[in-house]
């Protein structure tokens, strides 16, 4: 448990209109505003939360799904520790497009970021086009977490974000000083102590000038 | 003193109930022994004890004023795959097994090699295991002062004996006596009817009677005193050492040194990374000639005659000894280059004309390109009039050569033209650097050579200054920078590469702005060839870019009337505009704005500082406004609905009636778009019909190019190092892969080493450079260990090849097995002994070495070996005795070397072996 606050950057991506901004608003302000204007480019919201006694500062980046904005957005992917990929369970096409979003994510992020796939708008029961099982299977393939939500009826939204944060905490090592993730992966073949305190002491455990 | 009293009190308190200190000791020792569990295991395979891991369990105990450690050593034997019969008595089995004989011949070597070999866990095999081949035993050892006094030894020995008796200890127990480095042990093992006693004698020189088998046999039999039916089985090994390899000595090409400066080969030296070792990494070859098991009555060995002629030995085996001290050139260079990263000097400290420009692009609002189109005039800068001089240690000729390599298109010969820069397919393990053999890679190699082999910091400063001026000249002349990937700055490549990509984009945009052909087309025009993938840029299909503020005449007219459409690309399918029969046109829009990762970081930072989300939307809406204006220009009577149908089709809800309009006109905006006063609507209202080419430029190529040039010029020497570390390690990895091609099959764990190196480079290349406490530098230094290990292994393998296979280039499986084993420093058997090809080669080398020493030529006949450096005789007896039934095992091993003589006995009778010190 770190005494300092951990800072996390999370992306919310997916086709336009699937409910990315609504999910975020539900999570940060616990409200649903059907009159939220469509996102232009990128925007973000912040939220402080505590998980298992650990204080966390979440910076959630919301993105527009329109083709035209796409060239601009990937730039904001950098340094993200987690990504939520949203589709609309009543729009098959929005689910099929996830593959493209994942690709874009792989290309533009540096680290192996923790992913979660979210099927939104499950309140629209009789309009459902994407089976729960289908979404689940896809998420498994992509080694991503999976959850179905409704931003309108507040189903699973809180859980979704919290689960993702928990998984991020598992996947990363954090620096006690400033609460940012230390490095993507530990250096293979090096002991933990070397990784944790490469700066400590006189012995670098490294190259000895042969 | 007070402390000691307390200690004594504790000690006595604990043992108050027992009669005396002596009894307490025995009882405590017995307790320890009772905790030892013993599971019978299968017979050991050859060499197993030296290759397996060992566990140690330590307890502390006091004996008189000796602080003793009771340490149990146990080999971790891997369970056998196939069930084999287990021993009746494991100790007897180990002692009588000749498989155990020569695995540990040269314990000292093993100890040494394992330390440096990075074996999974240093086996630190105990001498008792070496001498007797035991897998499980316990040793009592004084922690500090050695046990020298005979009566003390006797007392301890009898206590031990009692404890063993009481606890029914199932493993042999030893006491270490005399100086620790002498490795002398006395031991007892109680197997019910049989009682084994172990004893060791250690002398500087062997008594004459012990030098030959005949004398040893006499002594052995005399010691036993009982007659066995079987003859004594003898196992013999003679060891030879070769250190002088003459022409088979391995050496690497000499590392680049200062005096190479003006050789013809300069360009080849400066454009490649060094690789090799400063001395032969194989410094000894050891030959073992063995007679694993012969009966005492078929061989004879005395001072006057011996049957043990090594040429006729039943088995030959060899092993290598490595020298780990040679400098590895590549690793050494990397190590040195990392010191550059800490250098704080700015380039301008060497070349102050560079600092005058540093003020140009001061911290700018990262969104200025979006919000403000005014370009600071750079025309006043006369940087390119050749008025500057860049003096330094590199002369014109040298610089010329280097730039021939770095910017081959400026050279008439184009000898070093960049190949087709194809990126590998998506690979998560990618090092954040640049494409192999691209400009950034070449630049890193040059800098590393300049810094480490030629002229240090001054040279780096001079070369970088020269490089940044070349970049400036090229931008000025609009000459594409070669060896850089096409397209937008690629976040998967390093920052330096992104910056150069940015320069190319800026020049490309300027070209188009000025009505010239884009680079790809220029290239085609030059080549008169069909389409080539070489110069294809991502923006090829988008080069109808905006013009600058000069307006083309006919457009001026067109623009006069707001109803004349301008800047159309094509119709959008069959779409018609709402409330009209006009087609909906896709407008020509401004190209997206390319950014390098540092700029993106600034943008995000800046966005984070804007707390009002409306303001953020406004900041973001510059490109929306531009697109809306383009749309209006192309579709003068278009509405927001039409724009949305093209731009964000999901926000256009088509009416789901039976008679759907085939032209997509029936429907309405999504609820969220209809909210009054939302940014989309307000921006739409302010948008004027202006075609992209007349709009404010979203991307100011002149300014952006200047920013990059300034970036290059304002580096410190340290940051130049930091920018090039990842590419340099990447090129090193490629170098190692190339150098290893012929030998990697023999190198143990080669694949693992390579993967580890790759992965660590990949991880570190993606981390931001952290100067605090030299954090990043230290991490990279750890990676050098991997590099150095691989470089050394490759050279070890080459050295072995040179010695044993001087003319061979392809190797069969047997060869590979042999080489692999030698690479691990294992004792490696040669089939057919002296007749084996390798055996013949080894013989030849021994004879060549001797002949050379005596200034003779090698004779074809009469090859002999020099005197052995060590002789080992192992004598064993077991089975039935002549008249006392089944006898226990009897064992004697004599190890004779030039400066040491050791006898290790294990006798199945309660006799005491005499020894002296
Ligand atoms: N029924 C329903 N509608 C939703 C839900 N989430 C969002 N919406 C609506 O879907 C539309 C698009 O939502 P928005 O959050 O702007 O999507 P974004 O483009 O992905 O950010 C809006 O009209 C929302 O009111 C949901 O869970 N259920
Ligand atoms: Mg949105």
Could you please report the per-residue DSSP string of A110-160? Answer: SS--EEEEEEE-TT-GGG--S-HHHHHHHHHHTT-EEEE-BTTTTBSHHHH
pLDDT digits (tens, 9 = 90+) for B279-315: 999 989 999 999 989 999 999 999 999 999 999 999 9
**Pair B42, B80: CB distance under 8 Å:** yes
Evaluate whether the domain defined by A6-208 bears CATH number 3.40.50.300: yes
B579, two tokens: 């409330």
* A36 in contact with ligand 1, CB cutoff 6 A: yes
Question: Do B580 and B691 lie in a common domain?
Answer: yes
User: What's CA A162's distance to the chain center, in Å?
Assistant: 10
Q: Rounded to a whole number, what is the distance in angstroms from the first to the last CA of chain B?
A: 37
Q: By three-state DSSP, how is residue B890 classified?
A: strand
pLDDT given for residue B531 in this prediction:
42
The stretch B73-83 carries a mean pLDDT of 81
- For B302, half-sphere exposure in the C-beta direction (CA atoms, 13 angstrom radius) is 7
Separation CA B913–CA B917 (nearest Å):
13
pLDDT digits (tens, 9 = 90+) for B90-142: 888 888 888 777 655 445 455 444 444 443 334 467 889 888 989 999 999 99
> Picking from A123-137, B462-476, B899-913, which range would have the lowest pLDDT averaged per residue?
B899-913
Question: Do B404 and B449 lie in a common domain?
Answer: yes
**Pair B452, B445: CB distance under 8 Å:** no
pLDDT given for residue B732 in this prediction:
96
**Pair B491, B693: CB distance under 8 Å:** no
pLDDT at B481 over 90: yes
Q: Chain A residue closest to B328 (CA)?
A: A210
pLDDT at B190 over 50: yes
Question: Do B681 and B706 lie in a common domain?
Answer: no
Question: Do B679 and B724 lie in a common domain?
Answer: no
**Can you state the angle between helices B679-686 and B622-634, rounded to 10 degrees?**
50
pLDDT at B688 over 80: yes
Question: Do B27 and B129 lie in a common domain?
Answer: yes
* Ramachandran category for residue B277: left, alpha or beta (phi over 0 → left; psi -120 to 50 → alpha): beta
| Top-ranked range on mean pLDDT: pick from A187-191, B112-116, B671-675, B700-704 | B700-704
The stretch A203-208 carries a mean pLDDT of 29
The stretch B338-352 carries a mean pLDDT of 90
Q: Rounded to a whole number, what is the distance in angstroms from the first to the last CA of chain A?
A: 40
**Residue B370: pLDDT band by 50, 70, 90 thresholds?**
very low
For chains A and B, what is the number of CB pairs under 8 angstroms? Answer: 147
Which residues of chain B does A38 touch, with a Cβ-Cβ cutoff of 8 Å? Answer: 648, 651, 670, 672-673, 678, 680
Domain that holds residue B679: 554-697
What pairs with residue A9 in β-bridges? A59
The stretch B198-208 carries a mean pLDDT of 92
Question: Do B154 and B46 lie in a common domain?
Answer: yes
- Percent of the residues in chain B that have a pLDDT greater than 90, as a whole number: 42
Q: Where are the domains of chain A?
A: 6-208
pLDDT at B33 over 90: yes
Whether residue B183 is contained in a domain is answered as: yes
Radius of gyration (Cα) for chain B, nearest Å? 41
pLDDT given for residue B24 in this prediction:
86
B102, two tokens: 């020569």
B783–chain A Cβ distance below 8 A for any pair: yes
pLDDT digits (tens, 9 = 90+) for B854-896: 877 777 667 889 999 989 999 999 888 887 778 889 999 999 9
| Top-ranked range on mean pLDDT: pick from A206-210, B348-352, B850-854, B901-905 | B901-905
| Top-ranked range on mean pLDDT: pick from B120-124, B203-207, B600-604 | B203-207
pLDDT given for residue B491 in this prediction:
82
A124, two tokens: 């629209």
The stretch A147-158 carries a mean pLDDT of 95
Q: By three-state DSSP, how is residue B351 classified?
A: coil
Question: Do B583 and B721 lie in a common domain?
Answer: no
Which residues of chain A does B760 touch, with a Cβ-Cβ cutoff of 8 Å? Answer: 187-190
**Residue B915: pLDDT band by 50, 70, 90 thresholds?**
very low
CA-closest candidate to residue A63, choices B590, B654, B498, B604: B604
pLDDT given for residue A89 in this prediction:
96
CA-closest candidate to residue A152, choices B672, B610, B17: B672
Question: Do B690 and B715 lie in a common domain?
Answer: no
Domain end among B664, B697, B730: B697
Would the CB atoms of A35 and B650 count as touching at under 8 Å?
A: no
Strand order, beta sheet including A145-148: A42-51, A54-63, A6-13, A82-88, A114-120, A145-148
Domain end among B668, B697, B726: B697
pLDDT at B648 over 80: yes
| Top-ranked range on mean pLDDT: pick from B323-337, B767-781, B822-836 | B323-337
Q: What is the dihedral of CA A73, A74, A80, A81, to 10 degrees?
A: 120
Question: Do B47 and B164 lie in a common domain?
Answer: yes
Question: Do B470 and B496 lie in a common domain?
Answer: yes
Separation CA B176–CA B157 (nearest Å):
10
Q: Which residue has the tokens 């047997």?
A: B814
Whether residue B57 is contained in a domain is answered as: yes
Q: What are phi and psi of B612, to 5 degrees?
A: -85, 125
Closest atom, ligand 1, to C-alpha of A36: 16
The stretch B658-675 carries a mean pLDDT of 80
The stretch B145-166 carries a mean pLDDT of 89
Task: Round the average pLDDT of chain A to a whole number and report it.
Answer: 80
Question: Do B129 and B51 lie in a common domain?
Answer: yes
**Residue B557: pLDDT band by 50, 70, 90 thresholds?**
very low
Number of structural domains chain B divides into: 3
B149, two tokens: 């006094």
Domain end among B191, B208, B228: B191
Residues in chain B: 917
B766–chain A Cβ distance below 8 A for any pair: yes
Whether residue B491 is contained in a domain is answered as: yes
pLDDT given for residue B70 in this prediction:
95
Neighbours of A124 (CB within 10 A): 16
pLDDT at B722 over 70: yes
Question: Do B48 and B85 lie in a common domain?
Answer: yes
Instruction: Give the residue with greater pLDDT, B519 vs B121.
Output: B519
**Pair B73, B126: CB distance under 8 Å:** yes
Would the CB atoms of A34 and B672 count as touching at under 8 Å?
A: yes
**Does the CA dihedral B150-B155-B157-B158 come out positive or negative?**
positive
Interface of A with B in 37-96 (CB under 8 A): 37-38, 40-44, 59, 65-66, 68-69, 71-72, 74-76, 78-79
Whether residue B771 is contained in a domain is answered as: no
> Picking from B268-277, B402-411, B515-524, B721-730, which range would have the lowest pLDDT averaged per residue?
B515-524
* A124 in contact with ligand 1, CB cutoff 6 A: yes
ipTM of the complex: 0.75
Q: Chain B residue closest to A188 (CA)?
A: B756
Task: Round the average pLDDT of chain B to a whole number and report it.
Answer: 82
């Amino acid at each position: 448990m770190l005494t300092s606050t951990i800072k996390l950057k999370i992306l919310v991506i997916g086709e336009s209109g699937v409910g990315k901004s609504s999910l975020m608003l539900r999570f940060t302000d616990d409200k649903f505003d059907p009159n939220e204007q469509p996102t232009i480019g990128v925007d973000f919201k912040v939220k402080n939360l505590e998980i298992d006694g650990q204080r966390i500062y979440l910076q959630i980046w919301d993105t527009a799904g329109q083709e035209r904005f796409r060239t601009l957005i990937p730039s904001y992917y950098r340094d993200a520790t987690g990504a939520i990929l949203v589709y609309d369970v009543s729009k098959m096409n929005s689910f099929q497009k996830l593959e493209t979003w994942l690709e874009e994510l792989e290309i533009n992020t540096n680290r192996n970021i923790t992913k979660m796939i979210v099927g939104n708008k499950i309140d629209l029961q009789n309009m459902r086009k994407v089976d729960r099982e289908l979404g689940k299977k896809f998420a498994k393939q992509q080694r991503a977490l999976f959850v179905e939500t409704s931003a309108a009826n507040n189903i699973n939204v809180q859980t979704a974000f919290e689960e993702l944060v928990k998984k991020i905490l598992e996947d990363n090592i954090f620096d006690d000083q400033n609460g940012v993730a230390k490095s993507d992966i530990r250096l293979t073949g090096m002991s933990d102590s070397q990784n944790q305190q490469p700066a400590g002491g006189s012995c670098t455990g490294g190259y000895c000038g042969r | 003193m007070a402390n000691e009293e307390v200690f004594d009190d504790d000690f006595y308190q604990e043992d108050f109930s027992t009669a005396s200190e002596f009894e307490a000791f025995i009882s405590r020792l017995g307790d320890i022994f009772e905790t030892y569990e013993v599971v019978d295991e299968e017979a050991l395979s050859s060499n197993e004890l030296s290759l397996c891991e060992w566990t140690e369990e330590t307890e502390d105990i006091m004996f008189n004023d000796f602080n003793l450690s009771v340490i149990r050593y146990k080999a971790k034997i891997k369970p056998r795959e196939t069930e084999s019969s287990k021993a009746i008595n494991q100790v007897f089995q180990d002692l009588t097994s000749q498989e155990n004989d020569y695995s540990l011949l040269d314990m000292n070597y093993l100890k040494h090699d394992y330390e440096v070999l990075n074996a999974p866990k240093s086996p630190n095999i105990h001498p008792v295991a070496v001498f007797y081949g035991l897998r499980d035993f316990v040793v009592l050892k004084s922690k500090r002062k050695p046990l020298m006094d005979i009566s003390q030894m006797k007392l301890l020995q009898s206590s031990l004996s009692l404890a063993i008796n009481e606890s029914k200890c199932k493993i042999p127990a030893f006491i270490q006596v005399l100086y620790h480095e002498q490795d002398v042990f006395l031991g007892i093992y109680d197997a019910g009817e049989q009682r084994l006693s172990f004893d060791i004698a250690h002398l500087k020189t062997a008594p004459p009677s012990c030098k030959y088998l005949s004398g040893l046999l006499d002594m052995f039999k005399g010691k036993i005193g009982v007659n066995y039916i079987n003859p004594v089985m003898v196992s013999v090994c003679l060891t030879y050492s070769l250190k002088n390899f003459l022409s088979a000595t391995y050496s690497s090409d000499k590392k680049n040194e200062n005096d190479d400066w003006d050789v013809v080969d300069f360009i080849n030296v400066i454009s490649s990374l060094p690789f090799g070792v400063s001395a032969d990494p194989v410094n000894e070859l050891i030959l073992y000639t063995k007679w694993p098991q012969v009966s005492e009555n078929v061989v004879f060995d005395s001072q006057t005659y011996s049957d043990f002629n090594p040429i006729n030995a039943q088995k030959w085996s060899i092993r290598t000894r490595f020298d780990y001290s040679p400098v590895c050139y590549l690793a050494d260079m990397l190590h040195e280059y990392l010191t550059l990263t800490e250098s704080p000097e700015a380039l301008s400290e060497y070349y102050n004309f560079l600092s005058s420009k540093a003020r140009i692009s001061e911290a700018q609002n990262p969104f200025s390109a979006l919000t403000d189109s005014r370009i600071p005039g750079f025309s006043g800068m006369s940087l390119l009039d050749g008025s500057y001089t860049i003096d330094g240690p590199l002369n014109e000729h040298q610089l010329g050569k280097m730039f021939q390599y770095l910017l081959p298109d400026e050279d008439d010969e184009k000898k070093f033209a960049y190949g087709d820069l194809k990126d590998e397919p998506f690979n998560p393990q990618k090092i954040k650097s640049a494409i192999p053999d691209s400009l950034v890679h070449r630049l890193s190699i040059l800098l590393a050579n300049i810094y480490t082999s030629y002229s240090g910091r001054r040279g780096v400063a001079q070369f970088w200054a020269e490089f940044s001026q070349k970049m400036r000249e090229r931008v000025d002349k609009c000459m594409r920078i070669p060896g850089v990937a096409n397209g937008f700055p690629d976040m998967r490549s390093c920052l330096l590469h992104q910056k150069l990509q940015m320069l190319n984009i800026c020049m490309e945009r300027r070209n188009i702005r000025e009505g010239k052909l884009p680079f790809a087309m220029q290239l085609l025009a030059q080549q008169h060839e069909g389409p080539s993938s070489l110069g294809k840029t991502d923006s090829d299909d988008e080069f109808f870019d905006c013009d600058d503020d000069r307006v083309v005449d006919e457009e001026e007219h067109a623009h006069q009337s707001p109803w004349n459409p301008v800047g159309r690309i094509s119709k959008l399918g069959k779409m018609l505009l709402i409330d009209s029969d006009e087609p909906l046109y896709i407008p020509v829009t401004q190209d997206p704005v390319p950014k390098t990762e540092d700029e993106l970081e600034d943008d995000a930072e800046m966005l984070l500082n804007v707390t009002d989300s409306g303001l953020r939307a406004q900041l973001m809406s510059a490109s929306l406004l531009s697109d809306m204006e383009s749309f209006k220009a192309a579709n003068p009577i278009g509405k927001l609905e039409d724009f949305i149908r093209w731009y964000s089709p999901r926000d256009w809800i088509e009416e789901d009636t039976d008679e759907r309009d085939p032209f997509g006109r029936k429907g309405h905006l999504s609820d969220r778009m209809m909210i009054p006063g939302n940014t989309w609507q307000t921006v739409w209202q302010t948008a004027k019909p202006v075609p992209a080419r007349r709009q404010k430029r979203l991307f100011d190529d002149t300014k952006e190019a200047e920013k990059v040039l300034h970036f290059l010029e304002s580096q410190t020497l340290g940051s130049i190092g930091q920018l090039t570390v990842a590419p340099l390690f990447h090129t090193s990895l490629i170098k190692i892969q190339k150098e290893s091609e012929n030998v990697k099959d023999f190198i143990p764990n080669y694949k693992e080493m390579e993967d580890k190196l790759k992965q660590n480079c990949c991880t570190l290349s993606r981390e931001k450079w952290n100067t605090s406490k030299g954090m990043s530098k230290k991490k990279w230094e750890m990676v050098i260990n991997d590099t150095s290990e691989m470089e050394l292994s490759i050279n070890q393998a080459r050295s072995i090849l040179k010695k044993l296979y001087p003319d061979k280039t392809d190797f069969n499986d047997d060869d590979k097995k042999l080489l692999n084993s030698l690479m691990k420093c294992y004792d490696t058997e040669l089939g057919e002994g002296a007749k084996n090809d390798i055996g013949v080669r080894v013989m030849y080398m021994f004879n060549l070495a001797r002949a050379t020493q005596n200034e003779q030529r090698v004779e074809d006949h009469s090859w002999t070996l020099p005197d052995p450096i060590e002789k080992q005789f192992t004598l064993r007896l077991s089975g039935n005795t002549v008249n006392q039934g089944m006898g226990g095992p009897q064992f004697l091993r004599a190890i004779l070397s030039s400066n040491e003589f050791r006898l290790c006995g294990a006798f199945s009778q309660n006799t005491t072996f005499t020894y002296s010190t």
